[in-house]
Every structure is written in structure tokens, then in C-alpha cells.
Amino acid sequence: TVTDSCRPFVISYYLSDDTISVYENAPVNSGYSGGMLISRRKIMKPGENPMASQPPAYYTHQDLYIGNTVCLENFNLKLVSADEYALRYMELHANEFPKSNIRLILEKLREGLRPIYKQFVAHQMTNNNLPLIPYYDFRQAVKDVLKDSITEHEIITLARHYSGDPPAEDLNCMQIQSMVQNELKRYLFNAFERLEEGFCYRDPDKTGFVTKDTAYTVLRGANLPVDRDLIQLLLDRVCDERCLVNYCRLVQFLDYKKNQAPSLQPVSIGSSVGVIARNRPPVNVDIKCVDLQNLIADIDLEKTLVDNN
């Protein structure tokens, strides 16, 4: 039997207008029909009075992170996982998503480790080396240091950044196209003809191709409202073996009016950042092990302690 505490839901958050929808993925033979639980709209936080003199507080993307519990119109949902699209988007926009900001998380861990650094490292050592550590052992070690001051989302961000697993298959072209087009639509960018003119200007011999570096320069010069890392990821995908980019195809690839990317189901719809909400602790992640040696090197407390002495 399926109880309310383990019913799977998908929360979709739409960055374009800060609206939220909730969909239930009911398991087969669960006794639940599933379907839309909350249709897309802005959702007030519990206890807010819409008739008060001050505007009520609504849920925003800052509230949606793994480990948090949100009360959406009297439904308590614990966020316990997220799809790759959502996690990657938040990491690429770390200034907007502090729980995915590796710099801030490292600083928090550095301060937590400072008084116990030597004991922590000694405990993790095996044959005078810092080995790859299983994810759940890593999670527990971080929780032992920082207690409740670190969230599950921040631990996952650390583990993803310092993953000791073999490189996973990267985002495919369709996913990248959807991510880029979502950003262009979000910021109302539609100057595709001018963008193509910029490429033509950089191609005086009219070959139809420019180098990857030139393509990057043109895209940045056109004020394309897309994160630099995402632009680089895009160009890595569309360049050929000569590191040349067919710029006409690139413009077509970007043009969401003439060549709209397919929606990515179930959560990567429009400009949404989807988070799967299930009450199934511990957090389900694909990371098997964490490279503790690289993490400790980046924390760089060894040199700090030596300098202070």
C-alpha cells in the first residue's frame, strides 16, 4: 500500500513569473489516480494574509532546495531529489541559487573544519592517502562537522563538484537547446537576424563557418542573456572536428520562434526548474563516491595552519 508520506510528486517552478505547479506521479496499483494536484499559479506562504496592509510573501526559487519542506496550499512536501536539468541549471546560475554555489559551500565547510581539521583528515586517511569515499559516508562526515547548518542540497552540490565517479554522459543537444532557448525567452531576446549579421561580418570570405572562439565572441558581443559556461557547452556541442561552427545552423538552433526545442518531460517545461518531491530519505543521488583529496586541497587549510604557526 502507498501512504501519503511516500506518494511521489513533481514540483515545477517557472522562473519567468515565479509560479508553481505540482503533479502527482501515482504508482501503478497504488489506489491513487495521480494527475495535477496544484495548477500553475503563485503560492502564498503559510500564515500570510492577502488582505493585510503589507503584500503577502510568496514562495520563490530560494525556497526550493533539496532537504527543505514546503507547505503548498496545505500540502506538506519534502524535497528530496531533483533532475539533472534542474541541478545543472542551478549550478550554472549559482549567484541566484546559493545552495548550488560551490564557493559559498566550501567556505562554510572550511570554517567548520578549521578547529578540527587535523583530526578530520587523520580519520579519513587510509595508508597515508585520502581515498575516494562512498557518497553516504561522505554525507555523514559532512553532517558530523556542520550538523544542521548545511542542507542536503549543499552536500549534493559538493559531491557533484568533487565526484570521483567516471564522467557521466553530458547533456545532449536537445537538452542544451531547451536550456538556452528558455533563457532567451525569459529575457525576451529575439535579435536573431542581427546575430546572423554579426556572424557574416566575421566571415568576409562567406564560408558559412567561424571558429569556436569567434562564435563565442559574437554571441557575447550580441549580449546573449545566457551563462558563459552554458555558451561554452553549446559551442562544444555544435562545433565540428575542425573546431568550426556553422553559424547559420547555430542561429537556427537558437531561434525559438522558428525552431522551438521540444519540451523536456516531466519537469523541464518552459523555463521551469523542476524538483521531484518524495518522502524517501536518504536523498537519492547517482553519485557513488567523492574525491576527498581534491576537496581537501581546495579547502586549503593545511597551508593556513602552517602559516599561522
Q: Centre a 10 Å sphere on the Cβ of residue 128 and count the other Cβ atoms it contains.
A: 5
Closest of 128, 133, 93 to residue 288, by C-alpha: 133
Instruction: Give the pLDDT score at 165.
Output: 65
Instruction: Give the pLDDT score at 166.
Output: 55
Q: Name the percent of the chain lying above pLDDT 90.
A: 46
Bond prior to 266 in cis (omega within 30° of 0): yes
Q: What is the mean pLDDT of residues 205-216?
A: 89
Local confidence band at 282 (pLDDT 50, 70, 90 cut-offs): very low
Local confidence band at 209 (pLDDT 50, 70, 90 cut-offs): very high
Question: Has residue 280 got a pLDDT over 50?
Answer: no
Question: Has residue 275 got a pLDDT over 80?
Answer: no
Class of domain 173-254 as given by CATH: mainly alpha
Instruction: Give the pLDDT score at 303.
Output: 64
In degrees and rounded to multiples of 5, residue 307 shows phi and psi of: -60, -40
In degrees and rounded to multiples of 5, residue 88 shows phi and psi of: -65, -40
Distance, in Å, from the CA atom of 271 to the CA atom of 273, rounded to the nearest integer, reads 7
Question: Has residue 272 got a pLDDT over 50?
Answer: no
Give CATH for domain 9-81: 2.30.29.170
Q: Name the percent of the chain lying above pLDDT 70.
A: 83
Q: Which long-range contacts (CB under 8 A, 24 or more apart) does 180-185 make?
A: 180/226, 180/230, 180/234, 180/254, 181/254, 181/256, 181/260, 181/261, 182/270, 182/271, 183/225, 183/226, 183/227, 183/230, 183/271, 184/224, 184/225, 184/226, 184/254, 184/256, 185/16, 185/256, 185/270, 185/271
Local confidence band at 270 (pLDDT 50, 70, 90 cut-offs): very low
pLDDT digits (tens, 9 = 90+) for 240-253: 877 789 999 999 99
Instruction: Give the pLDDT score at 27.
Output: 62
Instruction: Give the pLDDT score at 1.
Output: 28
Supply the mean pLDDT for the chain: 83
Distance, in Å, from the CA atom of 208 to the CA atom of 199, rounded to the nearest integer, reads 9
Domains of the chain: which residue ranges?
A: 9-81, 86-166+288-307, 173-254
Provide the sign of the torsion angle of the four alpha carbons 211, 215, 221, 227, taken in this order. Answer: negative
pTM: 0.62
- Residue with the larger pLDDT of the pair 283 and 309: 309
pLDDT digits (tens, 9 = 90+) for 55-70: 999 999 999 999 999 9
Distance, in Å, from the CA atom of 8 to the CA atom of 279, rounded to the nearest integer, reads 8
Question: Has residue 265 got a pLDDT over 90?
Answer: no
216-241 per-residue burial string, b: 16 or more CB within 10 A, e: under 16: bebbeebebebbeebbebbbeebbee
Parallel/antiparallel/unpaired status of strands 75-78 and 69-72 = antiparallel
pLDDT digits (tens, 9 = 90+) for 86-113: 888 899 899 999 999 999 999 999 999 9
| Rg (the chain; Cα; Å) | 23
Q: What is the mean pLDDT of residues 161-185?
A: 77
DSSP string, 207-219: -SEEEHHHHHHHH
In three-state secondary structure terms, 127 is: coil
